[in-house]
Structure 1
Amino acid sequence: MDWAQIYAAVFIMALGLSLILTPACQKIAQIFGFLDIPKCEGHKLHAKSTPLLGGVAMYSAWILTILAALAAVTFILPEKAMQDIIAGVAGIKLVLREFAVIILCALAALVMGTYDDKHAMKAHHKLYGQIAIAVATATFGGVHITLFMDLPFLSWFLTVFWIIFIFNATNFFDNMDGLAVGTASIAFLFFTTAAIVNEQYFVACLGACCAGSAIGFWFFNHSPASIFMGDGGSHFLGYMLAVISAKVTYFNPLVSESRLSILIPLFILAVPIFDTLAVVVIRLLNHKPIYVGDHNHISHRFLHMGMSRKRAVLLVHLLCLIAGLGAMPLLWGDERSCLILIAQGVTILLMLTLIQYSGTIQNKQQAQLQEISPDEK
């Protein structure tokens, strides 16, 4: 059994389990009252109560696939095949210990988010939980962002910050049916590809497993969604995006000619990162709390341009594909090619900035018109 077959098997199993478990979690959510009820909240676009627990479905598919893979390696595969797999993963015992930490932290992220779905945690309490999970991962989970610097504390700090930021970026981006899970699925596939190119077998399997569980859930979450992922799902996906993006080694001197390849995760996640920074700036300029939802996301801008929700989400996903596809050649390109691709990425971000700015001006003009009384018009 070669690694390509293993990747495919992991992906298909996670996909199948997600397709089976999502409807089950939908029914459980209805029975126990895990429902997203709009309550006239301005930033919510759905009109009826919708089951949550999509995160439970994705995590369950993910962990069951992992356990099945470990069982297959231990008890089912021939001894030679098992030895070949172990030989392909350097320091297998350390890897498994670190992976146990990642599994527990992913579970903690899911539990915290699911609790928030039911009981509405205060924003600072949720932030404390995110910090604790990020610190545990950076300290014990073998997740490090080094940027070619031999500065352990700076690496640790960058890793903690990255995990917390992607936690919240994914949560912010979950503002329309199928948007966040579709974007995460695209990102997981790109990260898996990067890991395969650099022969990071374990990380590639982990990425394939995440992609399968996310895509399986997408079939039930795209518009009109029959189930939401909730904060539990956005925290699980955000955590795994942060972990896998940090675990992949983007610069391989045997493959890549430029160290600019370390920018690949910023390209793959460019759209949600940009969207998060943009809405935070807009909320600060409007003197509003950054954790209070609104309609200033890029997906909402496309709605204001006359698109349907499905088309707005599709356009965002196409932008994610463009950014990710532009990042892949950085894995093996030379310095000049990488600079051209980076310029392309910056151009896309400038285009998004123009859309965001135009939408902000339009919203202000509409608000000013609404403040004018009929006698003044």
Structure 2
Amino acid sequence: MNLWYLIDLFAFLGGAVATLLATPVFQWIAMKTDFLDRPQANHKGHGRPTPLLGGAAMFTGWILCIGGGLLLAHWGRIPFFSEVISDYLDGISYAAPQLGFIVLGAFLSVILGLIDDKWAMSAAVKFGGQFLIALLAATLGGVRVNIFLDNAVLTTAVSVFWIMLLMNSINFFDNMDGLAVGTIAIAMGFFTVIAALNQQFFIAVFSALTCGVCCGFWFYNFNPAVIFMGDSGSHFLGYMAAVISAGVTYFGIDFSLSRFPILMPLFILALPLFDTAMVVLIRTRNHKPFWIGDHNHISHRFVRMGLSRKQAVMLVHLMALTIGLGILPVFWGDFRTAAILVVQALLLLGIITILQFTLGNRQETRETPVTPAGDRKETKL
């Protein structure tokens, strides 16, 4: 069993190294093809045109590792690990069709984002594309959100909604250098731990690989970013967060001491989900379209408090770690322990709510015309 933990580690390192190597290549391609995010006086404030192919770089590192790992597993040429992996080759072959559709969904997510980055699709077209991708993953890819109801139609509908919700939430959340990719890296780390503890070995490897890809790209995307992920990256990361969080088993009659673990993905991904909910409420209250970007995200409010952009991003990441670490023992805790930890997590979200609705409210109706350097437009729904 311990060998699987090493496999998770190698998957993480492989994803990180592959993305570290792929990102400069796509940075060069973006410069040569003029695939750049150019500053705009009304909403963007980065000082120079910046390459916008980060999503393609992350997907390339991710798919190369998946392809290489599958080839090595079937050839039995993975040193030290071939024996343990050989016991699961039948399972790999059985799951290959579903994995293929999941990979196809990830690819289409990147393509949809690239098209929007280049030509700015309308909200309706973009939403339709997201729906088709989510439907593909939920039906042919077998992505299912467990809602304890034996109704295939309802389960599929909830799964499609979950995928689309996270794709758009990460899209909204990508408003400062390193913010979204770092937050998803943290979430993937927690999903890896939970899947490994639950002996869901392949999902753990999948999640560890995605975590590594995020860390590899974060190296270039941290402030001041030399490349942006764009819609292609936010769609890819949102899609993967939805797929992996739905694939992890949080509750089982034979090992769960309460039903509270089913709430874990909501808390692990709470910051992008909660931030999206808050800005939508604020925009609706201010009679503005909810899909049009503004500066009411929690990261922007921290900057208005006087923090630097790096400090604001770091604070959000620390909050994500705090909530995740606080909710993790719910997986193995009894009812009383789990209840206390869930209440604690809710209180933390209550603090975030207060921050969202109070910090910088004096500027809500007087938006600054230019975002701080390094920020970008929030891509539209």
TM-score class, shorter: over 0.9
Q: Deviations over 1:197-237 (max 9, x none)?
A: 10001101100110111100000000000000000000000
Amino acid at match of 1:26: Q
Shift of residue 151, structure 1, vs aligned partner: 1.9
Amino acid at match of 2:123: A
2:35 & 2:9 partners in 1: Cα distance? 33
Amino acid at match of 2:244: I
Residue 24 of structure 2 is matched in structure 1 by 23
Q: Is the 8 A contact 1:166 1:242 kept in 2?
A: yes
Residue 193 of structure 2 is matched in structure 1 by 193
Are 2:247 and 1:247 equivalent residues in the alignment?
A: yes
Residue 374 of structure 2 is matched in structure 1 by none
Are 2:22 and 1:41 equivalent residues in the alignment?
A: no
Q: How does 1:89-168 map to 2 (within 5 A)?
A: 91-168=91-168
Shift of residue 193, structure 1, vs aligned partner: 0.7
1:252 & 1:77 partners in 2: Cα distance? 35
1:38 & 1:339 partners in 2: Cα distance? 47
Amino acid at match of 1:243: V
Amino acid at match of 2:272: P
Residue 182 of structure 1 is matched in structure 2 by 182
Distance 1:202 1:83, change over 3 A: same
Shift of residue 360, structure 1, vs aligned partner: 5.7
Task: Give the gaps of 5 or more residues in structure 1.
Answer: 368-377
Residue 71 of structure 1 is matched in structure 2 by 71
Amino acid at match of 1:35: L
Tell me the secondary structure at the aligned position of residue 147 of structure 1: coil
2:324 & 2:30 partners in 1: Cα distance? 34
Residue 219 of structure 1 is matched in structure 2 by 219
Residue 171 of structure 2 is matched in structure 1 by 171
Shift of residue 283, structure 1, vs aligned partner: 1.1
Distance 1:81 1:307, change over 3 A: closer
Are 2:352 and 1:352 equivalent residues in the alignment?
A: yes
Shift of residue 28, structure 1, vs aligned partner: 0.6
**Higher Cα radius of gyration:** 1
Deviates more, 1:218-227 or 1:70-79: 70-79
1:50 & 1:80 partners in 2: Cα distance? 43
Q: Deviations over 1:128-149 (max 9, x none)?
A: 0000000011001111112222
Q: Is the 8 A contact 2:305 2:360 kept in 1?
A: no
1:61 & 1:78 partners in 2: Cα distance? 19
Shift of residue 256, structure 1, vs aligned partner: 2.4
Shift of residue 83, structure 1, vs aligned partner: 6.0
Task: Give the gaps of 5 or more residues in structure 2.
Answer: 368-381
Q: Deviations over 1:55-104 (max 9, x none)?
A: 11100000000011011111243799546325347743331110000000
Distance 1:91 1:299, change over 3 A: same
Amino acid at match of 1:227: I
Residue 257 of structure 1 is matched in structure 2 by 257
2:5 & 2:90 partners in 1: Cα distance? 18
Are 2:34 and 1:5 equivalent residues in the alignment?
A: no
Distance 1:277 1:76, change over 3 A: same
2:281 & 2:139 partners in 1: Cα distance? 31
Shift of residue 305, structure 1, vs aligned partner: 0.4
Amino acid at match of 1:211: C
Shift of residue 361, structure 1, vs aligned partner: 3.0
Distance 1:340 1:64, change over 3 A: same
Deviates more, 1:219-228 or 1:250-259: 250-259
2:136 & 2:365 partners in 1: Cα distance? 47
Tell me the secondary structure at the aligned position of residue 296 of structure 1: coil
Tell me the secondary structure at the aligned position of residue 202 of structure 1: helix
Seq. identity, %:
47
Shift of residue 365, structure 1, vs aligned partner: 6.9
Residue 370 of structure 1 is matched in structure 2 by none
1:365 & 1:11 partners in 2: Cα distance? 44
Q: Deviations over 1:251-296 (max 9, x none)?
A: 1334321111010000100111100000011111111111111000
Tell me the secondary structure at the aligned position of residue 289 of structure 1: coil
Distance 1:149 1:359, change over 3 A: same
Are 2:250 and 1:235 equivalent residues in the alignment?
A: no
Residue 271 of structure 1 is matched in structure 2 by 271
Q: Is the 8 A contact 1:255 1:331 kept in 2?
A: no
TM-score normalised to structure 2 length? 0.92
Q: Is the 8 A contact 2:23 2:217 kept in 1?
A: yes
1:261 & 1:279 partners in 2: Cα distance? 27
Q: Is the 8 A contact 2:146 2:246 kept in 1?
A: no
Structure number with higher relative contact order (C-alpha < 8 Å, ≥ 6 residues apart): 2
What is the total number of aligned residue pairs between the two structures? Answer: 366
Q: Deviations over 1:138-193 (max 9, x none)?
A: 00111111222222211111100000000000000000000000001001111111
